[in-house]
């Protein structure tokens, strides 16, 4: 019997990459307006090269970005980029359709958890900004174990906090390699959020179920 549901956060409950790209686009435009001479296309490549190297959650990316593009840190330019980034992020940061309605329904029958590779402050900032902070019994982030999915430590930590066995839990996430593979290694049932999935064709890992809209989840859980 399923007693708890674990959710990934980014690209499962919210469109993280769309928000990230729009925020970065606004930041680059603002920095160019403030004095950055690098063409926008090249600036975009350099910025996302740094994100690939340092991680998508890298919080001080504009400093090495300006060192690479301007040869120094121009704080006027950096401030313009940071302000534009934050304004755009705050405007765009919202859940996928039907998320709140489904979470309200699930809370009546299941314990709910977040398991995210984001740092603790970033995870909670997103949850609070979207009005989701009170839906979950526990929130486990990268800072809790210093291991990212699919490493078993984050999953085991979440199970302990839920006081649940693997066979009593379902993991819902968009990433086959991190969410689905990590959960399946411990015997946790899995649901792929295909609406947020970006690498489904790059892995031969099969989830127990797949959803194209989160509103399909309650029925799936009944069947599992």
* Weakest mean pLDDT among 3-12, 43-52, 192-201: 192-201
Confidence of residue 57 (pLDDT cuts 50, 70, 90): confident
In this predicted structure, what is the pLDDT of residue 105? 97
Q: Which CATH superfamily is domain 4-15+94-223 in?
A: HAD superfamily/HAD-like (3.40.50.1000)
* 32-41 mean pLDDT: 97
- Predicted confidence at residue 196, as pLDDT, reads 85
pLDDT, mean over the chain:
94
- pLDDT given at position 205: 84
Task: Indicate the fold that domain 17-92 takes in CATH.
Answer: DNA polymerase; domain 1 (1.10.150)
> Region 136-146: what's the mean pLDDT?
97
Virtual torsion, Cα 50, 55, 56, 61, nearest 10 deg? -40
Task: Name the band, by pLDDT with cuts 50, 70 and 90, for residue 204.
Answer: confident
pLDDT at 197 over 90: no
Distance from C-alpha of 30 to C-alpha of 187, rounded to nearest angstrom: 48
pLDDT tens track for 68-96: 999 999 999 999 999 999 999 988 889 99
Long-range contacts of 154-158 (CB under 8 A, 24+ apart): 154/115, 154/117, 154/182, 155/6, 155/115, 155/182, 155/183, 155/185, 155/186, 155/188, 156/186, 158/6, 158/113, 158/115
Task: State percent of the chain over pLDDT 70.
Answer: 97
pLDDT, residue 14, reads 94
Query: Domain limits of the chain?
Result: 4-15+94-223, 17-92
**Which pLDDT score, from 0 to 100, does residue 129 have?**
92
């Amino acid at each position: 019997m399923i007693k708890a549901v674990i959710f990934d956060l980014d690209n499962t409950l919210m469109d993280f990459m769309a928000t990230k790209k729009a925020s970065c686009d606004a930041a680059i435009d603002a920095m160019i307006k403030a004095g950055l001479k690098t063409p926008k296309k090249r600036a975009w490549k350099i910025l996302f090269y740094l994100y690939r190297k340092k991680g998508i959650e890298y919080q001080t990316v504009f400093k090495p970005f300006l060192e690479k593009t301007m040869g120094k840190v121009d704080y006027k330019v950096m401030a313009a980029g940071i302000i534009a980034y934050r304004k755009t992020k705050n405007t765009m940061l919202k859940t996928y359709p039907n998320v709140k309605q489904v979470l309200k329904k699930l809370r009546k029958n299941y314990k709910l958890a977040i398991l995210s590779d984001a740092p603790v402050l970033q995870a909670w900032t997103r949850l609070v900004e979207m009005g989701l902070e009170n839906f979950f019994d526990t929130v486990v982030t990268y800072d809790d174990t210093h291991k990212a999915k699919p490493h078993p430590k984050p999953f085991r930590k979440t199970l302990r906090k839920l006081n649940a066995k693997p066979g009593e839990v379902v993991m819902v996430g968009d990433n086959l390699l991190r969410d689905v593979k990590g959960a399946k290694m411990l015997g946790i049932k899995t649901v792929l959020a295909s609406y947020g999935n970006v690498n489904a064709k790059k892995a031969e890992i099969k989830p127990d179920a797949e959803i194209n809209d989160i509103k399909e989840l309650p029925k799936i859980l009944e069947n599992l």
